[in-house]
Amino acid sequence: MNTRLRLCGDLESRNVIFDHRFIFERSLDYRALITRYRGTVCRDTSTGCVVTAWQKSLYRFGNFPLEEAICATILLDRNGIARGVSLDEKSHGGLGPLCDFHTLQGCMNRILRGKSFAAFSRVCPTAGDARCLHLFEVLGSAAGFYEELLRKGETEGSEEELMRICPKPHTIRVENEHILNGKYRRTDITLRHVAAPTFTKNQMPAGLISRLEVRTSGEGSLSEPVEASDFRGVYGKLNRAISKVHRMEKEAFNCAGRMRFTNYTSLTGLLLLTMSHSAMRILRGPRILMMLQILQTGGERMNCIGFSKLSDFKLNCCSGKVVENT
């Protein structure tokens, strides 16, 4: 996979036929610790509309690299009701066989078939309702973009976004590029640590004294302190700062509502994962999975379809303790 924005020129054609095979190409680009590439294409058909939505995440955790790719196609009738839903058979979540194509296809059918696609946020308001965080992100983004097109009186359009997260000494840098119906926007975010973060026993951030700095089009547009002394505080303060960046993106593209078709809805968790990774002296697969479980399910709340099948451990994200199942 060549991780660059690549569709904007092709999508200038009103009758584009979207070839999604590139999403499942094996990537050799692991320069960033975390890369997330996502997008949506909506085009008219003789019976309604076809929506194609995808997301690919790449994690470079030392000798524990991960690639997660999902591509969904939704066929809508003239009333916006989902009459056909399908996943590319190579789609999978973050836990391999535990959230494979067949599992995700079943979840997608249950959520969408026979229902209004524009009403997705009411039918499936949380990742727990979808039983899969990644599927929830992909479908929520696509439904949000489709709803935005309807608001503007349009039936066809496209958007794509590429985010890279790179930890540096005392900082974390985020580069985000987003194209919406041909309009391009780049945002550079720096989380600069005034003091070294502290962590719980399972390596989740427990204390933070930092500043979030944002530049768009090369000019400074936001500088926000982020300070907290426990995990909940770190998550809350960081999430509020990222929400302001999200709002700036929404205003720049003149979007209404929550604007769910963006990586910013996931950025808080990705930044926490980046901080935890940087604190690990020895990289171990189980510890990565433990951090992912906390960030994706909230620790005790076993919402994710993949994590709900794990029985090795339960986590308490506040105390940082690991409790073995018996």
Is residue 318 over pLDDT 50?
A: no
User: Are 101 and 218 part of one and the same domain?
Assistant: no
> Which helix (H) or strand (E) is 285 found in, with range?
helix 285-297
Q: Please tell me the distance from the alpha carbon of residue 78 to that of residue 68, in angstroms, as a whole number.
A: 33
The mean-pLDDT minimum among 87-101, 191-205, 239-253 falls in: 87-101
Angle, CA 278 vertex, CA 274 and CA 279 arms, to 5°: 120
pLDDT digits 0-9 by tens, 55-67: 988 888 766 677 8
Quick one: pLDDT at residue 259?
86
137, 158, 179 - which closes a domain: 158
Quick one: pLDDT at residue 298?
55
Q: Identify the CA nearest to 70 among candidates 134, 164, 124.
A: 134
> Which helix (H) or strand (E) is 314 found in, with range?
strand 313-316
Residue 5 forms part of a structural domain: no
| CA 323 to centroid of chain Cα atoms | 28
Q: Please tell me the distance from the alpha carbon of residue 147 to that of residue 119, in angstroms, as a whole number.
A: 8
Quick one: pLDDT at residue 219?
72
User: Are 24 and 148 part of one and the same domain?
Assistant: yes
Q: Please tell me the distance from the alpha carbon of residue 106 to that of residue 87, in angstroms, as a whole number.
A: 10
Print the domain residue range for 215.
Answer: 165-279
Q: What radius of gyration, in Å, describes the C-alpha atoms of the chain?
A: 19
Q: Please tell me the distance from the alpha carbon of residue 105 to that of residue 99, in angstroms, as a whole number.
A: 10
Residue 1 forms part of a structural domain: no
| Local structure of 4: helix, strand or coil | coil
User: Are 20 and 154 part of one and the same domain?
Assistant: yes
Residue 266 forms part of a structural domain: yes
User: Are 243 and 263 part of one and the same domain?
Assistant: yes
User: Are 47 and 108 part of one and the same domain?
Assistant: yes
pLDDT digits 0-9 by tens, 7-23: 443 444 333 345 666 77
User: Are 57 and 170 part of one and the same domain?
Assistant: no
Quick one: pLDDT at residue 129?
79
Locate 97 and state its tokens: 């066989």
The DSSP secondary structure of 16-35, one letter per residue, reads -----GGGGSPP---SSSEE
User: Are 119 and 198 part of one and the same domain?
Assistant: no
Torsion of CA 18, 263, 198, 280, to 10 degrees: 0
User: Are 145 and 216 part of one and the same domain?
Assistant: no
pLDDT digits 0-9 by tens, 72-82: 999 999 999 99
Looking at the chain, the whole-number percentage of residues with pLDDT higher than 70 is 75
Our count of domains for the chain comes to: 3
Is 107 or 317 the better-scoring residue by pLDDT? 107
Going by pLDDT thresholds of 50, 70 and 90, the confidence category of residue 317 is very low
Going by pLDDT thresholds of 50, 70 and 90, the confidence category of residue 123 is confident
Instruction: Find tokens 């479980």 and name the residue.
Output: 293
Residue 114 forms part of a structural domain: yes
Residue 4 forms part of a structural domain: no
Going by pLDDT thresholds of 50, 70 and 90, the confidence category of residue 256 is confident
Quick one: pLDDT at residue 294?
65
User: Are 153 and 175 part of one and the same domain?
Assistant: no
User: Are 216 and 97 part of one and the same domain?
Assistant: no
Question: What is the sign, positive or negative, of the torsion defined by CA atoms of 178, 180, 185, 190?
Answer: negative
Going by pLDDT thresholds of 50, 70 and 90, the confidence category of residue 116 is very high
